[in-house]
């Protein structure tokens, strides 16, 4: 290992979900027990205990990412491989990445028993070095700090439209497209075992779609007039202003999901109203349609915008 920080990154796949739920003495006591009790799954050569994602949470994660045939799923910190194996049962291909050889052995056996070994692989590798570009779906059960460290790679290396789903931990300043909470957050009765207490804690699922990069200036022609759109982007959220001649259009209803972009724009006094819907291609062009809501006539035209700078 290269030091405590690196160990945390690659063995924290299963950090118990209650880590960011409990506060006070009880939470501290539970965490101490897990770190000191090898019976809870801690291996001699690993500093952080392993805890798996419950099967119902696995299925919900795959539901949110709409995993199915044609997908390639990469699970970063795969543990016993249950997420990749469950994805393969849905017709997907994929592989898991982990540093723990014992967990990888369990993962391969789990895939064999599920009769999906020919669709999946499990690799002992550093998640910060593994090739993620071929993924259509990334799954994770890591710490928030590890997610944030991974975020630049996810944004820059994954294709727009790639889905990312994380159990329990978010991505810092990158707001999720969806966020749901499962389960009961209250422990019922002091007689519960530690395992039962853990199972009673909420499980959170975060979901993102990698957005296309649209920040900058775009231009297009419409009915002999030139339109210039300036965009400022913050992940999947963006601000835009559109200028046509002497008019500055008011832009509303902005939406960016992967390669798909849509918004409305109105001229001063709302004499003209436009509805834009398109898709950003690899050459940084937008192709789609414009609905033109003219007080005198309405029409639908092709929309082709080019990136300028």
pLDDT value of position 39: 38
Closest CA to 144 of 165, 127, 124, 169: 169
> The tokens 């995993």 sit on which residue?
67
| Separation CA 192–CA 198 (nearest Å) | 10
- Cα(228)–Cα(205) distance, rounded to whole angstroms? 39
| CATH class name, domain 4-209 | alpha beta
Q: What is the pLDDT of residue 10?
A: 35
Coil/strand/helix, residue 105:
helix
pLDDT score of 7: 34
Which tokens sit at 197? 């207490």
DSSP state of 157: H
Which residues of the chain are modeled with pLDDT < 70?
A: 1-51, 183-201, 270
What is the Cα–Cα distance from 170 to 190, expressed in whole angstroms? 30
pLDDT for residue 195: 65
Q: What is the model's pLDDT at position 15?
A: 41
The mean pLDDT value of the chain amounts to 83
Question: Between 55-64 and 82-89, two packed helices, what is the crossing angle to 10 degrees?
Answer: 60
pLDDT number for residue 233: 97
The two three-digit tokens of residue 56, written as one number:
């119902």
Report d(CA 66, CA 87) in Å as an integer: 10
Q: CATH classification of 216-307, choosing from 3.90.320, 1.10.3470, 2.40.128, 1.20.120?
A: 2.40.128
The structure's pTM equals 0.80
Residue 304 pairs with which residues in a beta bridge?
287
Q: Which pLDDT score, from 0 to 100, does residue 266 have?
A: 93
Question: Residue 294 has what pLDDT?
Answer: 83
pLDDT of residue 268: 80
Q: Where are the domains of the chain?
A: 4-209, 216-307
């Amino acid at each position: 290992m290269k030091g405590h920080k690196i160990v945390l990154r690659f063995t924290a796949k299963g950090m118990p979900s209650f880590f960011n739920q409990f506060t006070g003495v009880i939470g501290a006591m539970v965490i101490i027990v897990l770190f000191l009790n090898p019976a809870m799954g801690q291996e001699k050569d690993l500093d952080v205990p392993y805890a798996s994602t419950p099967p119902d949470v696995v299925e919900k994660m795959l539901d949110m990412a709409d995993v199915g045939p044609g997908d390639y799923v990469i699970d970063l910190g795969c543990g016993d491989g249950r997420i990749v194996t469950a994805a393969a049962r849905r017709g997907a291909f994929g592989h898991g990445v982990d540093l723990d050889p014992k967990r990888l052995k369990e993962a391969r056996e789990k895939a064999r028993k599920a009769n999906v070994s020919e669709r999946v692989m499990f690799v002992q590798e550093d998640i910060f070095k593994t090739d993620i570009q071929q993924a259509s779906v990334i799954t994770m059960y890591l710490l928030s700090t590890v997610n944030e460290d991974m975020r630049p790679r996810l944004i820059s290396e994954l294709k727009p439209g790639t889905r990312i789903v994380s159990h329990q931990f978010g991505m810092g300043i990158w707001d999720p497209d969806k966020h749901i909470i499962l389960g009961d957050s209250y422990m019922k009765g002091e007689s519960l075992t530690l395992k039962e207490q853990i199972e009673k804690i909420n499980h959170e699922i975060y979901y993102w779609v990698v957005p296309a990069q649209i920040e900058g200036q775009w231009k297009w022609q419409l009915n002999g007039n030139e339109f210039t759109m300036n965009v400022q982007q913050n992940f999947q959220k963006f601000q835009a202003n559109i200028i046509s001649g002497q008019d500055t259009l008011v832009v509303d209803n902005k939406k960016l999901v992967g390669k798909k972009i849509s918004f409305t724009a109105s001229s001063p006094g709302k004499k003209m109203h436009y509805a834009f819907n398109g898709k950003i291609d690899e050459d940084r062009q937008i192709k789609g349609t414009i609905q033109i809501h003219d007080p005198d006539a309405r029409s639908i035209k092709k929309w082709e915008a080019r990136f300028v700078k």
